[in-house]
Chains A and B, each alone.
Chain A
Amino acid sequence: MSVPAAPPPRKKPWITLNSLGTRLVIFFVALLVLVQGLSAFLVTQANFQIARETIDGELEQGERVFRKLLSQNQARLEQGVAILSSDFAFRQAIASNDNGTILSVLRNHGARLGANVMTLASLENIVRADTLEEARVGKTFAFADLIRLAEADGKASSVVIRDGKLYQLVVVPVLAPEPIAWVGLAFEVDDRVAKELNELTGLEVSFASRIGEAPWKLHASTLSPTLRPSLLGALAGETGLSPRVHDLDVGGDEYETRLTRLESRPETAIVAILQKPLEIGLAPFRRISSSFFWLTVTGLTFLVAGSLVIARSITRPVHRLAEAANRVQQGDYSRHVDVEHRDEIGQLAVSFNHMLDGIVSREREILRLAYEDGLTALPNRAMFNEQLGQAVRTAKRANQQLSVLVFDMDRFKAINDTLGHPVGDQALREVGVRVRNALRDSDIVARLGGDEFAVLLTTSESMEAARVVAGKIQKALEEPLVIDGQPMDMAASIGIARFPEHGEDASALMRAADVAMYEAKRAKTGYALYDPTHDERRQEFLTLLGELRRAVDAGELVLHYQPKMDLKEGRVTAVEALVRWRHPQRGFVDPAQFIPFAEQTGYISAITRWVVSRAVEQCGVWERTGLRIRMSVNISARDLQTGDALVQHVSQALLDAELPAGMLCLEITESGLMEDPGSAQSTLRKLRELGVTTSIDDYGTGYSSLAYIKQLAVNELKIDRAFVAGMEADRRNAAIVRSTIELGHNLGLTVVAEGVETDHELAELRRYGCDFAQGFYFARPMPAASFERWLSGVREKGAVAARSDALGEA
C-alpha cells in the first residue's frame, strides 16, 4: 500500500518566520516611535507654552521697567526744562522781546539739555520762535493741548510726531514770575534712545506710529535694519489702540511682542514695540529635545536588537515545528520535535509530538479499517484486490501461475432471515476462522462482503493444488456450526479461476472465479473450475432475466391448467394453474429455467400477481359458464414475505372476478415455508381468514416438523412427486406416502398426490385414502380452451374412460 505523494511545500518556511520576526520588530519600533513621538509632541507643546509664558512674563516685566524708564526719562526732561526755563538770564532774554536774542538763547539753553528742537509760544499759542523752522513763527503752536496741561501742572510732556519724526516734547511756562510765554523742548526718539532702553530692559525696543489708516511708520528700533520691514509687515493688521501681547513673525523668527501706547490722541497711534525672541525661551528646551532625540535613537537601536533576539528565540523553535509539520505532511512520522524549553513553544512542541503520535495511530487504524474486514478481521475486498494485483504482477514477471477461489454459503440468506443478522454474523466469523485455520499461512483469505469469501493461492501452481484447497474449505465446513447452542449445516459453493489462463489481471480473475462459483452453485457440485461456457450460460441467464421483465407486460406469459382428480368422487373438481413463458424466439421456456431466477431477483412478485389475477379471472369465467372448478395457484416464499400486499391483491382479484374465496387455493412449497416461518405463518392465517384455501406443495422435501405444520393455517398437503413416483420401486416410499396421507388426515388436511403416472400408483393412492391425484396419468397441463374440451370429453366418456384417455394422451 502507498500513501499519496505529498505536494511540495508552498512556501519556504524561513520567509514566514522571518516575517514574524519582522512584524515583531516593526510592532515594537512603531510602539516606541509612537510613544516617544507623542511624548515629544506633548513635551514640545508644553515647552513651547512654558517658553511663551516665560517670555510673556519677562516681556510684561520688561514693559513695566520700560514704562518706568520712560516716565523717569520724561520727568528728568521736564525737570531739566523747568530748571532751564527758570534760569534768570533765559527769562531775561525771553522778556527782551528781541527775536534774535530769543532764538539764540533758545538754541543755547536747549543745547544744554540736548534738545533737538526748541519752540517759544506766546500765552496766546502763537509761535514766537522755532529753532528748526523759521516759517512756523506767527502760526499757532501745534501742541496747544500740552500748553493746557502745563497751565494746570506747570509742565507737560508727550510723545509727538513732527515732520515725520518722533519727539518727546516737553512744554513749560516761562515764569516772570507768572507765565509770560511757553517754551517747548523736543527730544527726538531715535535708535540711540531705543538702544538705551534695550540695554536697560533687555528687550528689543521699537517705536512706530500711524496716523489714521495710513501704514505704520517705524521711527526707531533696536532691530537690525534688515528686520525692520518685516516688523512693519507683521504690524500691518494691528490697530495699536489696545496694548496686547502678540506673537509676531519677524524675519522668520518668532517674537513675543507687546505694544505699549505712548500717547492718547485718537487719530494718531504711537506705540513702543517691546519684543523678545521666543527662541531665547526655547533654547533650554531645544537642548532637552536634542537629548530626547538621541535617547530615542539609542532606545530604538537597543529595541530593534532586542526584538530581533526575542523574535529569533521564538521563530527558531517555530521554524523547527514547521519543518516537523512538513515532514508529517510528506508522510514521515518517524521523528519527534526536540523540546528545548518548557515555555509556550516547548508546550506547543510537546503537543505537536502528541499530535504526531495520534496521527500515526489513527492512520494505522484507518489503514486497518480500510483494508480489513471488521467482522472477521480478515483482509477485505480492497485489500484482497490489491494483493491479487500485486500477485498477478509478480506472477507475470516470474512467469508463474496462481489461483483465485471465490465462495459463498449456500442458503445463507435463510439463516440471516430466520435466525437474524447477529447469528448470521457469528456464523460468518466462524466460517472465516475455520477456513483461515484450514489453509496455509501463505494463502490469503479475505471476506469480500456478505457471505462471500475469497482465497488467493500464490504458491500453488498446479490446478490440483487449487482443487485440494477447495476440498479443504469444504471439509472445514462439514462439521455443523454451533451458534448459541443451535447446530446449523453450512455448505459453500466454490469457484476457481487461474492465472494466466482465465484472466490477465485481477478483475478478470475475480469475475471468472465469480462465474465459476455460480456454476458450482447451479450445478450443486460444491466447486467448479472456470469454464468459458459458464460465461455464456450466465450471459444467457442475464438476458433471460431482462426479457422476463418484459414478458408480463408483453403478454408472453400464459397459464396452463392441470386437472386435480377427486379420487372419492371420481371427477375433476380442481385445476392447478402453471405459468408458461411463450418466448417469441425461444418458444416455450421451462419454468425451472426462469422461476428460480425470478425468485432470486424478486421479480417473482410481479409474476405471482399476474398469475393470481389471470387464474382467478379464468376461474370466474368458468364459474359463470357453469363449470365449477377450484383453482390452485403457486406462490413463492417471497410472496409470503410481502404479507399484506399479497393478501390485498388476492382479495381484490377475487372481488374483480366475483368469485367466492373458497374457489381459490394458494400453494406454497414446504421449503419456501421454512425460509421465513414467522411471516409465512401470519400471511397464511390472513389468507385463511379471507376464505382462501392454502396448500403445502412438494411436501416431504423441506424437513418441516409436524408440530410446525400443525401450527400453520393450511388446508391441504401435496405429497412430492418423488415419493409418488418411487412407490413402485421402493416400498419405503410407499410407506412414506401412506403415512403422510394418514398424518394429513389426522391433522384434518386434504391430501393431494402429485406426479401420478401409472395405474398402480393410482390404485395404491386410492387404497391409502388419498383425496386427490394429479399427474400425467390424467392429463398434462394445458391451455384453458384445451382443458375445457378435455373436461367435456371426460364427462361424456365417464371418469374411468377419461382416465385411460388421459393416459393415452400422456
Chain B
Amino acid sequence: MLAAPLARSASLDAQVRDAAGRPLADAVVYAIPGSTHEARPARAPVAVEQIDREFVPYVTVVQVGTTVTFPNRDPILHHVYSFSPAKTIDIPLYTGKSPMEVLFDKPGVVTLGCNIHDWMIGYILVVPTAHFARTDARGVARLRDMPSGAYDVHAWHPQQRAALAPQRVTLDAPSAPSLEFSIDAPPRKPKYKPPLDRMKY
C-alpha cells in the first residue's frame, strides 16, 4: 500500500547517553526509511582533514557513494591508510591537498590510521541513507528534512561494546519526535601524543 507522498519534511532528535547516563559525543544516529526507498543522490565530497596530527573530525558519517578527500593541514607528511573491509585506503606520504578522492561505495565502518603517527585514529561510518547526524558534546543528534514515513533509527559509536538494535519510528510533519539511545561505550581515551615542541618539523 502506497501512501500519498508527503511534501512536508519532518525532523528527528536523538539523545545518546553512555551506560552511565552521561551524554555521549561522537555517536552517529542514522535513519533508514522503512518502505519506499527514496533515492537521494549522494552529496558533494566530504573532507577528513589532518590537523595537528589528528583526524578531524574524529567520526565522519557519509552516505554510500560519497567521495571523501583527506587534505593534510599539517606541515608534516601523513600516510593515511585503512585496512577496513568496507574500504581499504593507502595514501602514502603527502601533505596539503589530498592526493586522491576515495569513493566509499560500501556501507560499513572504515577505521583510519596514519602509518607514521600511531596515535592518529579516525572513523568513517558509511551508511546507506542520507538521514544521519553526529552527536555533539551534549550527546544530541538532530536529523532534519526527513520526509514523513517510517524509519529504522540506528545509533553507533566507535567504542561501542555491542551493536545496538534500531528503533522504529514513524515521522509525520510537523511533529519532531525525540529518541533516546544508550550505548555501552567507554569514555574516549586519547592516545598519547608527543608534544609539538618535541616534533622537529
Contact = CB atoms under 8 A, between A and B. Distances in A.
A95 B84 CA distance: 8
A719 to B, nearest CB: 176
B33 interface: no
Nearest to A97: B85
Nearest to A82: B118
B21 to A, nearest CB: 25
A176 B83 CA distance: 7
B120 interface: yes
Contacts of A176: 82-84, 111, 113
B121 A88 contact: no
Contacts of A175: 113, 118
A181 to B, nearest CB: 10
A178 to B, nearest CB: 6
A150 to B, nearest CB: 15
A794 B112 CA distance: 201
Interface size range of chain B in the complex: 10 to 19
B115 interface: yes
Contacts of B120: 177
Contacts of A92: 83
B81 interface: yes
Interface string A3-17: 000000000000000
Contacts of B88: 95
Contacts, number: 26
Contacts of B83: 91-92, 95, 176, 180
A172 to B, nearest CB: 12
Contact of B121 (A86, A91, A95, A178): A178
Interface string B65-99: 00000000000000101111000100000000000
Contact of A86 (B79, B111, B112, B118): B118
Interface size range of chain A in the complex: 10 to 19
Contacts of B82: 176
Interface in A161-186: 175-178, 180
A95 B83 CA distance: 6
Contacts of A180: 83
A88 to B, nearest CB: 5
B115 A88 contact: yes
B81 A88 contact: yes
Nearest to B112: A177
Contacts of B111: 176-178
Nearest to B123: A178
Contacts of A91: 83
A88 B111 CA distance: 15
Interface in A67-102: 86, 88, 91-92, 95
A105 to B, nearest CB: 13
A543 to B, nearest CB: 158
A180 B81 CA distance: 14
A277 B19 CA distance: 61
B53 to A, nearest CB: 13
Nearest to A94: B83
Nearest to A91: B83
Nearest to B159: A178
A91 B111 CA distance: 13
B75 to A, nearest CB: 22
A180 B110 CA distance: 12
A98 to B, nearest CB: 13
A178 B83 CA distance: 10
- Considering residues A86, A177, A180, which has the most beta carbons from chain B within 10 angstroms of its beta carbon? A177
Contacts of A88: 79, 81, 115
Interface string A740-774: 00000000000000000000000000000000000
A86 B79 CA distance: 14
Nearest to B82: A176
A775 B47 CA distance: 205
Interface in A136-176: 175-176
Nearest to A177: B113
A180 B109 CA distance: 13
Contacts of A86: 118
A177 B120 CA distance: 8
B17 to A, nearest CB: 23
A86 B82 CA distance: 14
Contacts of A177: 111-114, 118-121
A95 B110 CA distance: 13
A183 to B, nearest CB: 14
A256 to B, nearest CB: 45
Contacts of B79: 88
A321 B186 CA distance: 114
A92 B113 CA distance: 12
Contacts of B81: 88
B44 to A, nearest CB: 28
A95 B82 CA distance: 10
A178 B121 CA distance: 8
A180 B85 CA distance: 11
Nearest to B116: A88
A92 B83 CA distance: 7
Contacts of B121: 177-178
A605 B26 CA distance: 167
A91 B114 CA distance: 12
A291 to B, nearest CB: 65
Nearest to A175: B118
A91 B82 CA distance: 10
A180 B112 CA distance: 13
A375 B62 CA distance: 166
A275 B118 CA distance: 44
Contacts of A178: 111, 121
Contacts of B113: 175-177
B125 to A, nearest CB: 14
Interface string A393-436: 00000000000000000000000000000000000000000000
B59 to A, nearest CB: 13
Interface of A: 86, 88, 91-92, 95, 175-178, 180
Interface of B: 79, 81-84, 88, 111-115, 118-121
Given A91-B83, A177-B121, 8 more contacts: A88-B81, A88-B115, A92-B83, A175-B113, A176-B82, A176-B83, A177-B112, A178-B121
22 contacts: A86-B118, A88-B79, A88-B81, A88-B115, A92-B83, A95-B88, A175-B113, A175-B118, A176-B82, A176-B83, A176-B84, A176-B111, A176-B113, A177-B111, A177-B112, A177-B113, A177-B118, A177-B119, A177-B120, A177-B121, A178-B111, A180-B83
List the 6 closest A-B pairs by CB distance, nearest first. Answer: A177-B113, A95-B83, A176-B83, A177-B121, A88-B115, A178-B111
